Copies of this chain bind each other. A is one copy, B any other.
C-alpha cells in the first residue's frame, strides 16, 4: 500500500504545531497522538485503522489505543471519519473550515479514498420537514495509479 513508515523529515516547528494543536483541545500531547496526527497530516488520502497500524510499523501502538486516539481526534475536531464501501472507518485530517460540504473519491480497485476540494454541490430540495446539516459528495471510480497499472 506504500505508505511512508515515517514522515521523511519533520522540522521542529512542525512538531511544535502538532503539540500545540493537541494542547489546545485540553488533552495531553502523548507520543501516540503526536505520531497519529503527523501520519494523517502526511497522508494523501483517508486512512483506515489498519493502514495506520501498518504505517506506524515497528513502533506499533496498541490496537485499542489507536482506536481511542482516532476517536479523540474526531471528537476534538482535528479529524473526520467516514465509512468506506467495505464498511470500515477511514480517517482524514479535518480541513480548515469544514463541517459544511466534503467531496471524496473512492477508488474501486485499491480502495483508497481521496479528499478532493471540489465545489460544494447544489443544495438540493428536500422533502417537507427535513433538515439538512451536511452534504457529502462521493465519487467512485479508478484513481490515476490503478487506471495506469491495469489496462
A residues neighboring B (CB under 8 Å):
83-85, 87-89, 103, 105, 108, 114, 116, 118-119, 121-122, 124-145, 147-148
Contacts and interface: CB of A to CB of B under 8 A. Distances in A.
A108 B129 contact: no
A91 to B, nearest CB: 13
Q: For A89, A119, A125, A129, which residue has the most chain B Cβ atoms within 10 angstroms?
A: A129
B128 A119 contact: no
A97 to B, nearest CB: 17
A140 B132 contact: yes
A124 to B, nearest CB: 4
Given A83-B83, A83-B87, A84-B83, A125 B118 contact: yes
Given A89-B87, A139-B134, A127 B144 contact: yes
Q: For A116, A128, A138, A143, which residue has the most chain B Cβ atoms within 10 angstroms?
A: A138
Contacts of A129: 143-145, 147-148
B131 A139 contact: no
A131 to B, nearest CB: 4
A108 B132 CA distance: 10
12 contacts: A83-B83, A83-B87, A116-B127, A118-B124, A121-B124, A122-B122, A130-B141, A135-B139, A135-B140, A136-B139, A136-B140, A138-B138
